[in-house]
Copies of this chain bind each other. A is one copy, B any other.
Amino acid sequence: MQQVAELQSLFKTYLDENQFHQKPEGLYEPINYILSLGGKRIRPVLLLMGCNLFNDNIAQALPASFAIEIFHNFSLLHDDIMDEAPLRRGKPTVHIKYNQNTGILSGDVMLVYAYEFFLQLDDKLKIPTIIKTFNKVAIEVCEGQQYDMDFETRNDVTIDEYIKMIELKTSVLIAGGLKIGAIIGGSSEEDANHLYEFGRNIGIAFQLQDDILDTFGDPEKFGKKVGGDIVQNKKTFLVLKALELGNDEQCAKLSALMSIDSEDENVKIEAVKSIFNELQIREAAEQLMESYLELAFDHLSAVNVVEEKKEVLIKLSNELMGREV
């Protein structure tokens, strides 16, 4: 099995060789820009791992891994416009660096190019199945973003709805990439579905971990400002769980805090955290996260390949969860 760093390097080379040099520049330059902003390339690397579980020929999965990365960046690009986000990975977002129309249109053509790279698969017979798998994911990602926007103006979001939203918005893409990799590698349908479920559950665990770290993380290690979700009044799992467990007074106080723009951010963050601590919300979130991790690894165990081939997937998952092993 190829190791994480090797797969990242393989993908990086493919990405560099497939820059967009077409005309008009105004359409294609923003695509190279957003793709150059980096990141750990988790989704394409997981797709390559999905393939590598069943096949030593990883190169055949590179176009599909690029398709997944293009789609992921398309969704970031359009989401940044919708969220009016000024920065992405510390750099100006596309609609800020260029303009909004460029952001919309370059995003649109990226979505088309995702399909274009899926078509490059040598085994043409697999293309309809792969595009079918991808379409389901792409539709769900859009649905997840819509739910996320809908939730901003709703005061009755349930925990189940929140979990469903993060599943759609973030974890199905991880799951779909793994499944597509498996299909390319020649897995059975059953194994491909187990890998999908591994990805779906681990994706939810990642997001719950992200919610926890955003509030309780070590400011030295956490890339963004700790407490950002609280400042932005985001209805994360932590808030929803506190509203479920809290007494009338705690709920009223939390609702009040999470519906205003506080003058002193740190005071607000500490006040919200204090309610979370009273209700042991961090522990509840960690418990739920663990249950999704467990489900994820159960599905990985069920995949019918020798255990040592799965080690790299387990290692990457633990790294992403911030666990040294």
Contact = CB atoms under 8 A, between A and B. Distances in A.
Interface string A86-112: 000000000000000100110111011
B128 A112 contact: no
Contact of A131 (B81, B82, B131): B131
A21 to B, nearest CB: 13
Contacts of A115: 115, 131, 135
Contacts of A228: none
Interface size class of A (residues with CB under 8 A): 35 or more
A288 interface: no
Contact of A105 (B24, B105, B112, B142): B142
A162 to B, nearest CB: 14
A224 interface: no
A22 to B, nearest CB: 8
A78 B108 contact: yes
Q: Report the copy number of this chain in the oligomer.
A: 2
A81 B112 CA distance: 19
Contact of A109 (B26, B82, B139): B139
Given A105-B78, A105-B146, A145-B105, A113 B131 contact: no
A284 interface: no
Interface in A105-141: 105, 107-109, 111-113, 115-116, 119, 124-125, 127-128, 131-132, 135, 138-139
B104 A150 contact: no
Contact of A111 (B26, B111, B124): B111
A244 interface: no
Contact of A150 (B24, B113, B145, B146): B24
User: Which label, helix, strand, loop or mixed, suits the secondary structure of the A interface?
Assistant: helix
Contact of A27 (B111, B113, B146): B146
Interface of A: 22-24, 26-27, 78, 81-82, 101, 104-105, 107-109, 111-113, 115-116, 119, 124-125, 127-128, 131-132, 135, 138-139, 142-143, 145-147, 149-150
Given A82-B105, A105-B149, A115-B135, 10 more contacts: A78-B105, A78-B108, A108-B108, A109-B138, A111-B112, A115-B115, A115-B131, A116-B139, A119-B131, A127-B127
Q: 6 tightest CB-CB pairs across the interface, nearest first?
A: A109-B142, A27-B146, A82-B101, A112-B138, A24-B146, A127-B128
